[in-house]
Structure 1
Amino acid sequence: MTTVSFDFDSLTPKERYKLLIGTVIPRPVALVTTRSPSGQANAGAFSFFNVLTHDPAILALGVEYKPDGTPKDTARNILDTGEFTVHIADYALVDQMEICSIKFAPEVDELELAGLETAAGETVRSPRILAAPAALECTLLQSIPVSPARVIVLGQVKKMFLRESLLDPATMYIDQEAFDAIGRLGGYLYARQGDQFERVTPTPEAFFTTTG
């Protein structure tokens, strides 16, 4: 099987971006809400996002700055207030998520434009989107400036809200198919969770027993 290789030090940022978003797939989409110190609500969608650990519960969010080098509203609000709420976007929220991705001015309320009903945060000041299947209220644990134009935000989950119909309370398992979360692919492509399969990792003893 023939392969090609790339020296990332010799690539342009756009070339690295294309290769990374086309190979690290699917990426979960974080629909993030924040409030500015003055109280202005903001929402933005990010796919450079994932959970890093459960003990403590830490999420990572990568945010690029604006072309002029100033922070986007989400990053600025998180750094200024130390609070944010991550919503996992499902297929039903795709249109509203896209509106929240538009580069509006800071004074524009994306939540209002998208017609998203919210509730006040319980452990943070950022609003919670009621239509989202899951919401995680976070406080800023650490910010890592990786370049003048990018910052990685680590948030500690303080409280989770989950659509009740998705949870089996006896097992704490979540119905992944009913969740219908979307994932970001390369370019303008997204994926849904319709095609699933299960594999159970065996113990070493079971592995050697099976393989002889």
Structure 2
Amino acid sequence: MSGEPQQKQQDPSAHEQMMDSEKHVQRNPHGNFKEVEASRPPWRSQDGWAFTQTRKPDWKPGEGGNDGGESLKHDHVDIDPYQDGRPATFNYKLLISAIIPRPIGFVSTRSKDGTSTNLAPFSYTQVVNHDPPVFIVGYAGGFDKAKDSLRNLMESGECTINIISEHFIEAANATAVNAPYGVSEWALTGLTPAPCKDVKASRVKESIFSVEGKLMDTKEFESRGTPGKKTGVLAIIEGVRFWAREDAVNADRNLIDPAVLRPMSRLGGITYGRLLEGIELPRPDWEEYKKEAEPAGLAQPKRDGQ
């Protein structure tokens, strides 16, 4: 592994420092959120997963965007992430509002000696390979300020990554509470720990799809604006066993039904997204595609800048 925490024991002071830094992010844009929420329509539980047509089913090769060129009428502004006076939190807010929707890795960990557990959501999560199954999870802060999840992962080398669905979104969000050091997220939220086969960390029983994971490597990042300051850690995790709810997986155990999974995604700020509609677009085959592309003069050699 490319890095190790500087301390082996949990450090309450590091936890407190991370909680203090959270206050400066100011994710909640509302003065009284419950008041704002009460003014909105209720949850539409009758809305289910459905396929629709694409926006332009008759799209042809070479047509470009499907909005009639409307998007080309607007100019862009360039943003220097390291501009003098630009705080790092601006980059954070910009990126989490632009790179959407993001899958949420609901990560469960357990310390090596088994005395401490952690359950927390991470939207810097993605699957990046299938043979072997490899996942990445991004943590804020360096090893010197590692929160419970990262420290447990480094000590034990194990975790579970659970997918968050609609039916427990409130409980999953509640695990991000800035609770005092040592307080159990499982007890606070009422979620159900379930045993695994290859790792000691529990999976979330409410989760329709879970992955048992073992740590492969880590990479620590350093601030550009404040040299020497460690600002993040990337954990690379191998999936060693999958758990799928029986009503969500097909007979071949190679497909999860989105109508059952009903996953939640992360958007900007404190916003989550639901997945209610999908479209299907077959990957083009060149032998068919060229029948329209070549007569229209679209099959051109690559040039500089293209």
TM norm. shorter chain > 0.5: yes
Alignment partner of 1:5 out of 78, 87, 90: 78
Alignment partner of 2:123 out of 23, 47, 55: 47
**Cross-structure match for 2:291:** 209
| More divergent stretch after superposition (146-155 vs 24-33) | 146-155
Amino acid paired to 1:181: P
Alignment partner of 2:218 out of 143, 155, 161: 143
CA drift of 1:12 comes to 2.1
| More divergent stretch after superposition (2-11 vs 171-180) | 171-180
Query: What is the CA–CA distance in structure 1 between the aligned matches of 2:118 and 2:82, rounded to whole Å?
Result: 35
- Give the structure-1-normalised TM-score: 0.93
CA drift of 1:65 comes to 2.9
**Cross-structure match for 1:31:** 106
Contact 1:29–1:89, Cα closer than 8 Å, also in 2: yes
Q: Deviations over 1:16-46 (max 9, x none)?
A: 1111111110000111100112312210111
Contact 1:90–1:180, Cα closer than 8 Å, also in 2: yes
Q: Identity of paired residues, percent? A: 27
Contact 1:26–1:184, Cα closer than 8 Å, also in 2: yes
Instruction: Name structure 1 gaps, 5 residues minimum.
Output: none
Query: What is the CA–CA distance in structure 2 between the aligned matches of 1:118 and 1:167, rounded to whole Å?
Result: 21
Contact 1:31–1:86, Cα closer than 8 Å, also in 2: yes
Please identify runs of 4+ aligned residues in structure 1 that moved more than 4 A: none
Taking the TM superposition and a 5 Å limit, the aligned residue runs for 1:111-130 are 111-130=186-205
1:90 and 2:168 are equivalent in the alignment: no
Q: 3-state SS of the aligned residue for 1:159?
A: strand
Amino acid paired to 2:122: F
Amino acid paired to 1:125: K
**Cross-structure match for 2:29:** none
- Higher strand proportion, which one? 1
Q: Deviations over 1:99-137 (max 9, x none)?
A: 211122342111122111112221111011111011100
CA drift of 1:210 comes to 4.3
CA drift of 1:171 comes to 7.3
1:79 and 2:154 are equivalent in the alignment: yes
1:191 and 2:266 are equivalent in the alignment: no
Amino acid paired to 1:188: I
Q: Deviations over 1:172-198 (max 9, x none)?
A: 222113210011001111111102111
Q: Deviations over 1:78-105 (max 9, x none)?
A: 0111001000001111111112111223
* Larger of the two Rg values belongs to structure: 2
Query: What is the CA–CA distance in structure 2 between the aligned matches of 1:143 and 1:206, rounded to whole Å?
Result: 44
Contact 1:136–1:161, Cα closer than 8 Å, also in 2: yes
Contact 1:177–1:193, Cα closer than 8 Å, also in 2: no
What's the RMSD between the two structures over aligned residues?
A: 1.7
Query: What is the CA–CA distance in structure 2 between the aligned matches of 1:45 and 1:171, rounded to whole Å?
Result: 26
Contact 2:133–2:239, Cα closer than 8 Å, also in 1: yes
- Give the structure-2-normalised TM-score: 0.66
Instruction: Name structure 2 gaps, 5 residues minimum.
Output: 1-73, 223-229, 296-306
